[in-house]
Amino acid sequence: MTRCRLRDGHADETLAPLRATIDDQKIDTMSKPELLLQVVTDVICPWCFVGSRRLKAFLESDDYKKQIAPHVQLLLKIEPYILDPRLPATSFDTPDKFYDAIERTAYEKNAPPTKKFYYSSKFGSNLDAFDAKISTAGEELGMPRFDWTSEGKVGATWNAHRLVLKASQLDEQSQGKAGEDDVTAALQSSQVRLMDRLYQDFHSKSKDMSDNKYLAGIAKEFDLFDSEDAAQKWLESDDLEYELGHKLQQADMNGVQSIPFYIVNDGADHMSETGSHDSFLKMMQMAVAPYVR
């Protein structure tokens, strides 16, 4: 680390302008207003995975860095949505308030459908056409291939949402990268990185999002808990269930009917589509307009 040289008991005056510049930069960064971008999503939603990668590409683009970043400090938050309330879970019972009673579904308790059965039933003869459309979008972003016909399970994502919420709380407690004058902090939060991993593991590796053993391993890998046993015990508890339910009710109150759904500054603006560079740019330009001098 470079230190100031002392001369006659005083710091080297030649470093004063540099120090003042650094201090000014810190003040400028800290004084920028916060732009909250909430992404309402569910891990089993394929277009949400595509949307997350399109958003990442936009946030790393020159348009964002030159037109948006100089005016605001981005805070990116992942918010929950239950895409299919009929689904049972492999390792836990789904809450009645947010999931259909099992006898009203085509499934059995603790026996989620396979991806092959689920997507074949959902799309029928149109599955190939859907795969071609979404795979083209994924290839443009360098994404891994989607797997629709494996024996992997499509289960309830309740506990996966709880883990993402847990990661968000830990991010808020640490605030380790708050104030960075770039998009790195937003994209590298535990919550955002965890969500991207869950997307990849489900859509490309066919991992069961309703299997607590899998979720406990991921939780330990992302340092959400000290051990897999601790994570397993937490998953079997009811911690953050009330908070998760409240967030799901908020999504309903915000009129979310399809995902991904993007909310700017607690409802000042919103967008209900997968998202593209141009649509993200327009939304962000409107959000920062009041701060542009």
Q: Is the peptide bond before 260 cis (omega within 30 degrees of 0)?
A: yes
Distance CA(49)–CA(243), nearest Å, equals 24
> What tokens does 84 get?
């299919």
- Is 176 a domain residue? yes
- Residue 133: domain span: 35-291
Bin 270: left if φ > 0, else alpha if -120 < ψ < 50, else beta: beta
- Domain membership flag for residue 21: no
Task: Identify whether 1 is part of a domain.
Answer: no
Q: Quick one: pLDDT at residue 20?
A: 43
Residue 95 maps to a domain = yes
Average pLDDT, the chain: 89
Number of separate domains in the chain: 1
Question: Of the candidates 158, 164, 117, which has an alpha carbon nearest to the alpha carbon of residue 241?
Answer: 158
User: Looking at the domain assignment, is residue 153 inside a domain?
Assistant: yes
Query: Which whole-number Å values give the CA distances from 291 to 31, 67, 76, in the listed order?
Result: 11, 11, 19
Helix (H, G, I), strand (E, B) or coil at 127: helix
**Bridge partners, residue 292, by sequence:** none
Q: Which residue type is seen at 217?
A: G
Q: What span, in angstroms and rounded, lies between the C-alpha atoms of 79 and 262?
A: 10
Pairing of strands 261-264, 73-80: unpaired
Q: What's residue 291's pLDDT? A: 87
Q: 197 burial class (0-12, 13-18, 19+ CB within 10 angstroms)?
A: middle
Q: For residue 129, what are its two tokens?
A: 């056409």
| pLDDT at position 207 | 98
**Mean pLDDT for each consecutive 10-residue tract of the chain (293 residues)?**
36 42 44 92 98 96 94 95 98 97 96 97 95 95 95 98 97 66 79 98 98 98 97 98 97 94 92 95 94 83
Phi/psi for 246 (5° steps) reads -65, -40
Distance CA 99, CA 272 (A): 23
Stated pTM of the model = 0.87
CATH code for the domain in which residue 191 is found: 3.40.30.10
Q: Does 29 map to a domain?
A: no
> Would you say residue 78 lies in a domain?
yes
- Closest by alpha carbon to 247, among 164, 149, 176? 164
Residue 13 domain-assigned (yes or no):
no
Detail the DSSP E strand segments found in 142-293: 261-264, 269-272
pLDDT of residue 107: 97
